[in-house]
Amino acid sequence: MKKLKHEAELFKEALLAGMKYGEERGAVIFEATDSQSEKILYVYRLLVHDKIIQPLPEDQVSQQSMRHKLALWYAKQLPKDHPLLK
């Protein structure tokens, strides 16, 4: 798994975008008491369910791999000249 240059920032934005997607879709309402790991797992599973991202093999699903997958998903949505892609 190749780490992206600005992976932490991409992941933060990806999680926010994924949460917004889930709430607008009517699939979930996130609470302030939800842990970040719960949010990551839910957003990842929702995007896989909706066939927006390819699922990881079950034996490779971890917090780190889901973070990476979400960062990649978000990076692909950004314009080529976006500062986080440089």
**pLDDT per residue of the chain (86 residues) written in tens, 0 to 9:** 677 889 999 999 999 999 999 999 999 999 999 999 999 999 999 999 999 999 999 999 999 999 999 999 999 999 999 888 88
The number of C-alpha atoms within 13 Å of 42 and in the hemisphere containing its C-beta is: 20
Homologous superfamily of 12-78 in CATH? Answer: Uncharacterised protein PF16691 family (1.20.120.1930)
What pTM does this model have?
A: 0.91
Instruction: Give the other-Cβ count within 10 Å of 40's Cβ.
Output: 21
Which H helix or E strand runs over 25? helix 7-25
Residue owning tokens 């949505």: 77
pLDDT at position 73 is: 96
Which H helix or E strand runs over 46? helix 36-49
DSSP reduced 3-state for 64: helix
DSSP reduced 3-state for 51: coil
